[in-house]
Structure 1
Amino acid sequence: MRLNKYLSEAGYCSRREADRLIGEGRVTVNGLRARVGAELGEADKVAVDGQTVAPRTPGAPNKRKHVYIAYHKPVGVTCTTEAEVAGNIVEAIGHEQRIFPIGRLDKDSEGLILLTSNGDIVNEILRAENSKEKEYLVGVNKDVTDQFLRGMAKGGIAMHGQTTLPCKVSKIGPVGFRIVLTQGLNRQIRLMCQHFGYRVKRLFRSRIVNIPIGHLKPGQWRKLTDAELRGLLPNRAEW
């Protein structure tokens, strides 16, 4: 088994995050610094920052193998698992198991974010080609015009070496709009608005795929229901 897959299946982090940790020299196998792409034998001992990472014990039949939660992230919480970062999301939630966020919301944004101990689903949910919808309510600093809405919906705005895809946009008030994205570029909505001369004053994520934020108040979290998980992971064996 590849080392990054081992860390993911152990619930420590996603495969992408595992490769980063390995590249930084923070992962050892049998006490020796590991390399990216390393393969493990059955008896190999893995540690991150000197702490042993044990393999996950398979769950009992009909029970979940992993943790899946929905969290209402308040403004000011940072979506990182780095313990030294003040206000990090893991510390804010205080879950008894090791979990990490699926994607991110920037520190100045609020709303729904999912967290899990199952690193193998992260890329599946985030990849734009899978058309996983994310819905946001946005407040800006001036009147929302039809021209602005058409421009936002059309796509083709350059950022981070890519261009935005067409998306759904609708007006919800004089200075507010709803937008549904299937991309997750860094600060995408803020940069899209900036392109048209607007400044985001409030950004709230209300839905990810089939999972609404519902009645969660800022700082509250709940477990995902079986119906919500089926929308994310139709194959129950992955739960």
Structure 2
Amino acid sequence: MTFRTRLQYLLVKKLQVSNRRALEIILSGEVYVNNEPVLTNVELGQTDEVRYHNQVLKEAKKLIYVAFYKPRGIETTLNTAIADNLKDILPFEDELFPVGRLDKASEGLLFLTNDGTLYDKMLRNENKTEKEYIVTVDKAIDDDFLTAMANGITIMGKTTLPCQLEKIDDYTFRIILIQGLNRQIRRMCYKLHYEVERLIRVRMGSIELEDLVAGEYRILQTPTK
């Protein structure tokens, strides 16, 4: 999906004119982008407003970036046909899309945005972005567990990449991944005969959960990725 377009294409679509006529309109100086007249077939972004004879052909889009604490028991989906979906609990009028997923039994940080360009970029770079979790398991953690988790475990026919681990207490550890395999941490623990009792994502790249609690959110500036 593309999130940028040329002014000429917009005029053809909105005014129902030919490509030639659209170019003539641009050269006439009667088209304004962000209240400034333009004389070239400029590329438009999401936040650009376009007017022609005081008719708004494209509204400026207000971009929103949100750190949201997804509660446990909520599916990371905007499909309202699915029970316990994310959209039903989000307190926003704008349609925001989650970058990445957290399974229903997990909780913590979701990054939400209506910025299609950034959304697309972050999805493309998903396996280059650090994701940090705090995990509690059902029995005491030993050195063999920590070593195996850090070095990589074969799940779903793939060996997970080496990752960073830190023991917090006998039952809790911190893990930092750059992968995003389906239910990766749970599957890794299960292969070592551990069950995950609680899994909280606390960071995605430079975005941190901080002091949010389940269901709360924080408005962000454009995150640095």
Band the TM-score falls in, shorter-chain normalisation: 0.7 to 0.9
Partners of 1:77 and 1:209 in 2: CA distance:
23
Given that residues 155 and 187 in structure 2 are in contact (C-alpha distance below 8 angstroms), is that contact kept between their aligned partners in structure 1? no
Given that residues 133 and 202 in structure 2 are in contact (C-alpha distance below 8 angstroms), is that contact kept between their aligned partners in structure 1? yes
Partners of 2:159 and 2:120 in 1: CA distance:
20
Are 2:81 and 1:87 equivalent residues in the alignment?
Answer: no
Match of 1:58 among 33, 47, 51: 47
Post-superposition offset of 1:96: 1.0
Where structure 2 has 5 or more consecutive residues not aligned to the other structure, the ranges are 15-43, 50-59
Are 2:151 and 1:154 equivalent residues in the alignment?
Answer: yes
Match of 2:174 among 162, 170, 178: 178
Are 2:108 and 1:119 equivalent residues in the alignment?
Answer: no
Aligned sequence identity (%) = 42
Match of 2:206 among 210, 213, 216: 210
Post-superposition offset of 1:107: 0.6
Given that residues 111 and 206 in structure 1 are in contact (C-alpha distance below 8 angstroms), is that contact kept between their aligned partners in structure 2? yes
Post-superposition offset of 1:72: 0.5
Given that residues 126 and 132 in structure 1 are in contact (C-alpha distance below 8 angstroms), is that contact kept between their aligned partners in structure 2? no
Partners of 2:46 and 2:97 in 1: CA distance:
19
1:185/1:115 CA distance change after superposition, 3 Å: same
Partners of 2:186 and 2:166 in 1: CA distance:
16
Given that residues 90 and 100 in structure 1 are in contact (C-alpha distance below 8 angstroms), is that contact kept between their aligned partners in structure 2? no
Partners of 2:74 and 2:174 in 1: CA distance:
23
Post-superposition offset of 1:118: 2.0
1:130/1:188 CA distance change after superposition, 3 Å: closer
DSSP-derived class of the 1:152 partner: helix
DSSP-derived class of the 1:43 partner: helix
Are 2:120 and 1:131 equivalent residues in the alignment?
Answer: no
Post-superposition offset of 1:208: 0.9
Q: What's the CA shift string for 1:129-159, capped at 9, x where partnerless?
A: 7621110000001110111001001014232
Bigger mean CA deviation after superposition, 214-223 or 117-126: 117-126
Match of 1:43 among 4, 7, 13: 13
Name the amino acid aligned to 1:77. I
Partners of 1:185 and 1:166 in 2: CA distance:
13
Corresponding residue for residue 75 of structure 1: 72
Name the amino acid aligned to 1:117. N
Partners of 2:184 and 2:120 in 1: CA distance:
18
Given that residues 70 and 215 in structure 2 are in contact (C-alpha distance below 8 angstroms), is that contact kept between their aligned partners in structure 1? yes
Given that residues 126 and 180 in structure 2 are in contact (C-alpha distance below 8 angstroms), is that contact kept between their aligned partners in structure 1? no
1:42/1:65 CA distance change after superposition, 3 Å: farther
Please identify which structure carries the higher strand content: 2
Post-superposition offset of 1:85: 1.5
Name the amino acid aligned to 1:170. E
Q: How many equivalent residue pairs?
A: 183
Corresponding residue for residue 35 of structure 1: none
Q: What's the CA shift string for 1:97-129, capped at 9, x where partnerless?
A: 011110110110010010111233335334567
Question: CA RMSD, aligned part only?
Answer: 2.9
* Greater Cα radius of gyration, structure 1 or 2: 2
Partners of 1:79 and 1:138 in 2: CA distance:
19
DSSP-derived class of the 2:2 partner: helix
Where structure 1 has 5 or more consecutive residues not aligned to the other structure, the ranges are 11-39, 45-54, 233-239
Name the amino acid aligned to 2:177. L
Partners of 1:79 and 1:146 in 2: CA distance:
33
